[in-house]
Amino acid sequence: MASLRSIRTRIKSVKNTRQITKAMEMVASAKMRRAQQRVLDTRPYADRIHEILVRMGTRSSFSTHPYFQIKPVKKVGIVLVSTDRGLCGPINSNLFRTILKFMGERPEVEFEFVTIGKKGRDFVRRSGRKLVGVVEGVKDRGPITEILPATQVVIEEFADKGEWQEVWIFYTQFVSIMSQKPMMERILPIKPEHLQPKEGADLTGEYLYEPDDSREILDVLLPRYFETIIFQRVLENFASEYSARMVAMKNATTNAKEVIYGLTLTYNKLRQANITKEISEISSGAEAIQQG
C-alpha cells in the first residue's frame, strides 16, 4: 500500500495540474471568442469582392478564365488547415479521417498537399503523400499575409502551370462550443453558382471600372477572392481549435478534481488506520506494563 507521504505528493502534483488545465481553459475561451469575431470582421471585405464579381458577371463571361475552367481530373491539390499544437481534442484526427475517406473514394486521382499547421504537415508526411507547400506558425490575430505563401502555391499549380485540375480545402468548422465539424470544400475551379447575387444584396447603380478590360480586373480580383476564402477557413479552424481545447481542458480539470477527491479519501483512510494502529499498540504496551 502507498505511504502517506507518496499520496500527499501525488495530491500536490494533481492540484498543480488542475491549476494549469484551468488556466488553459480560460485562455482558450478568450481566444475562441476573439477568433469568432475575426471571422465576422472579414465578411464585409469578402462580401464586397463577391458583389463586384457578381457585377462583373453581368458584363462578361467567366467561362474562359482559368479559375472557372473545368477539365478532366488527374491531379488534385488539397489545402489542409490544421492546428500547430495538440491538447485540442479529436478535431485533427477527425479531419484526417475525412481526408483519407475522400482520397479512398477517388483511387484514380493523384493528390498533392499544401498544409497550414504542423499537425497537418506531420499527417501528410506519415501518409507518404507529396507535400508541395507548408505554412506554420500562423497566429489567430495575424494578418492575411501569413497564409499568402500557401495561396500562391495553389494559384501557381492550378492557374499558372495547370498541374492541378481541382483544389479542395479541408478544415474544421465551428458549430458550437461542444461541436466542431470536419469540412471539405472545392474552391477551384470556382462554381458559377458561387457568384450569384446573395439574398438581400443591393446591386442597383453602376460602377465605372478602370481599366475597362474585364479580364485584367478578374486577374486581380479573383486571387483576392480566393485568398479571402482560405483566410476565413483558417480563422474558422482557429475558433474550432480553441473551443475544442477549452472543452478538453475543462474535462481535464474535472477529472483532476475527481482524482484529488479519491486520493484525499484514500489518504484519510490510511491516516485513520495508522492512528488506530498506533493507539492499539500504545494500549497493548500499557496493558503489558500493568500486568508486568
More confidently predicted of 249 and 51: 249
- Helices 91-104, 214-291: axis angle to 10 degrees equals 130
Give me the pLDDT at residue 155, please.
92
pLDDT of 289 reads 76
220-224, 269-273, 283-287: least confidently modelled range: 283-287
Q: Which CATH class is domain 26-196+204-247?
A: alpha beta
**Helix and strand numbers, DSSP H then E, in the chain:** 5, 5
- Please give the pLDDT value at position 205: 67
Query: In this predicted structure, what is the pLDDT of residue 126?
Result: 94
The owner of cell 500499557 is 286
Catalytic residues: 88
Diameter over CA atoms, the chain: 118
Give the span between the Cα atoms of 240 and 172, in whole angstroms: 6
**210 vs 220: CA distance, rounded Å:** 12
- Mean pLDDT throughout 112-119? 96
Query: What pLDDT does residue 220 have?
Result: 83
Cα–Cα separations (whole angstroms), residue 117 to 101, 210, 234, 276:
21, 39, 10, 59
pTM: 0.84
